[in-house]
Structure 1
Amino acid sequence: MSVPSAQEFHWQSLARLPSGRVYHSLVEVGGLMYMLGGCDAAGRPSPALELYSPEEDRWLSLPPMPSPRVGAAVAVLGKQILVVGGVAEDQRPLKVVEMYNTEEGKWRKRSSLREALMGVAITVKDGRALAVGGMGADLLSRGILQQYDLRKDVWALLPPMPTPRYDATAHLLGNKVYVAGGRQCKRTLKVFELYDSETRSWTTLPNIPCKRSYGGVFWDSLGRLCLLGGLRKGGGHQSSKFTNNVNIFDTNQGLWLKSEDTVSMKTKRADFASAFLRGRMVVAGGLGHQPSVLDTVEAFHPHKRKWETLAPMAVPRCSASSIVIRDRLLVVGGVNQVPSSAHEILYVKEEECL
């Protein structure tokens, strides 16, 4: 398969957000991008729900969420957006679950979680949301696995995850839910576990080779988990240890590729936007050993087996939210000293942009 050259990727600045935002959630419904919640410049959780209109290049304000929240888990069930948990205005986790019907333009309160949780990982199988893990109000991690049935409006308990954690990554592949990484208190985990929905059982997979937080996470077109960069050791900026390490898990072989079979990124970075786009791994922005926030962008060429430099983002930032829609990477909000209102799209020149 041919992949675009580095020169074919271009950035375009789109309509800025109504206000600077960070830790918001992005979802796609019917090819359109919705943005929910987040944190404003004063550190307050936002109730905002906004839709980006590509035809008009502007943000449309929709009815706000009944419960303002930051870092909610969001799942799309048909034409409806399910919003689960997150952090409330009092900085405590939420148990409230709300659903927005994109056709009716209305919010409905749904059955709450069994307890208030933040940092829940969520995925969808057969029209049902699977919510895994999270951190409770006592700051302890949970191993709970809950399944939401839209028709019955009930949460059912499934066998719990062996390793309690929050801020993990959950991904559905066939009948299996892969749950990678996450945290317990402030400790980053290398745990990698798999839930089989047919046997209703958990399996422990080989640990992630490199412990990291704030790295890039996505699945490529071959069904491989890709973990890139991140922070190996926190602390002040001077003592932080960033990495350019790349780990790839092959689900067919059930193992992590050897280090000689992967290629490290050019720049050590963390807290960046990342995606698999047009056959290439892409990383953009973030924090590194440089004194300021990064605007640099790299993409891996699978045939040349090397990382190449792409055109930089117009607005340097970290902690941005991103989503791929119709082979385009949208990078929204983030932080550069203060929450950013920037909204940029990375696309391949041969196609029309949004």
Structure 2
Amino acid sequence: MNDPRVSHTASILPNGKVLVADCSSINISELFDPSSGLWTITGSTNIPRCCHTASALTNGEVLVASRYGEIVNRYTAELYDRSIGIWTKTGSMNVPREYHTASILNNGKVLVTDGFNADAVDFTAELFDPSTRLWTLTGQMNNARAFHTAIVLTAGKVLVAGGEDNNGFTNSAELYDPETEVWTEIGNMNFARRQLTSSILMSGQVLVTGGYNSNVNILSSAEINSSI
């Protein structure tokens, strides 16, 4: 790459290139071209971002949301237009966030969940509508969490699991139904996990792996949810 970076995001564009955005020494973004194996610099984000989320929308744009640090910038979002290589500011979220998740629903909207709001972990979730470029709050979650994982299931519901709540690390999990905008608690994981990963298997089951279950202990265990 042209600039070293950490806590950045990578998004695959419709043309097959990969857009990497922040966190670099300056707020440059760059593109990787698989056909040439080369990186080229593209437009800079309007606000330097770390620990944000990036979502490749169905219309070809890329949405980035939030950033680490100042509360005022945790609300912000912007869109990358690959046709001109420029970032433009879009509607701000209703709640400031960091260490949240963003999931693209089957209807093209983006579901953003929880994260740190100031010094506390939040219960809120909201939706970004690419057609209006506005954010609206959706159903409140049953458990506050940050550093969690979120994955869109085959049927379109979203599973969030683990993370850290206001009392410490958590093993809780819940499902979001886009049709009703309601969250439903499901069975807990066997271990509390923060900064874990989740993957959908060919069977439709969800595999979660690793993560912290204390401030010093990193897990090597994995588990499968077979009840959804």
TM category, shorter: 0.7 to 0.9
Structure 2 distance, partners of 1:147, 1:116, is 14
Deviation at 1:140, TM superposition (A): 4.9
Partner of 1:275: 199
Partner of 1:135: 68
Q: Note the residue ranges of structure 2 that are not aligned, 5 or more in a row.
A: none
Q: Does 1:285 align with 2:210?
A: yes
Partner of 1:19: none
Greater per-residue strand proportion: 1
Give TM-score scaled by structure 2 length.
Answer: 0.87
Structure 2 distance, partners of 1:200, 1:272, is 30
> Please, what is the CA RMSD of the aligned residues?
2.3
Structure with greater Cα Rg: 1
For residues 282-328 of structure 1, what are the alpha-carbon distances to aligned partners after superposition, in whole Å with 9 as ceiling and x for unaligned?
A: 112223269843222211122xx7xxxxxxxxxxxxxxxxxxxxxxx
Q: Note the residue ranges of structure 1 that are not aligned, 5 or more in a row.
A: 1-64, 89-93, 235-240, 306-354
User: Contact 1:141–1:185 at 8 Å: present in 2 too?
Assistant: no
Relative contact order, CA 8 A, sep 6+: which one is greater?
Answer: 1
SS at match of 2:211: strand
Partner of 1:266: 190
Deviation at 1:199, TM superposition (A): 3.1
For residues 234-279 of structure 1, what are the alpha-carbon distances to aligned partners after superposition, in whole Å with 9 as ceiling and x for unaligned?
A: 7xxxxxx33221111111221011x3xx211122232322222221
Give TM-score scaled by structure 1 length.
Answer: 0.58
User: Contact 1:175–1:198 at 8 Å: present in 2 too?
Assistant: no
Partner of 1:72: 8
User: Contact 1:191–1:207 at 8 Å: present in 2 too?
Assistant: yes
Partner of 2:89: 157
Structure 2 distance, partners of 1:183, 1:166, is 5
User: Contact 2:163–2:171 at 8 Å: present in 1 too?
Assistant: yes
Q: Aligned residue pairs: how many?
A: 224
User: Aligned runs of 1:116-195 on 2, under 5 Å?
Assistant: 116-125=48-57, 126-135=59-68, 138=70, 140-173=72-105, 174-195=107-128
Deviation at 1:205, TM superposition (A): 0.7
Structure 2 distance, partners of 1:281, 1:175, is 22
C-alpha change, 1:160 and 1:289, in structure 2 (3 Å) is closer
Q: Does 1:253 align with 2:177?
A: no
For residues 133-161 of structure 1, what are the alpha-carbon distances to aligned partners after superposition, in whole Å with 9 as ceiling and x for unaligned?
A: 2235x575432221111121111222222
Q: Is 285-294 or 214-223 further displaced after alignment?
A: 285-294
Structure 1 distance, partners of 2:6, 2:67, is 14
Structure 2 distance, partners of 1:103, 1:263, is 45
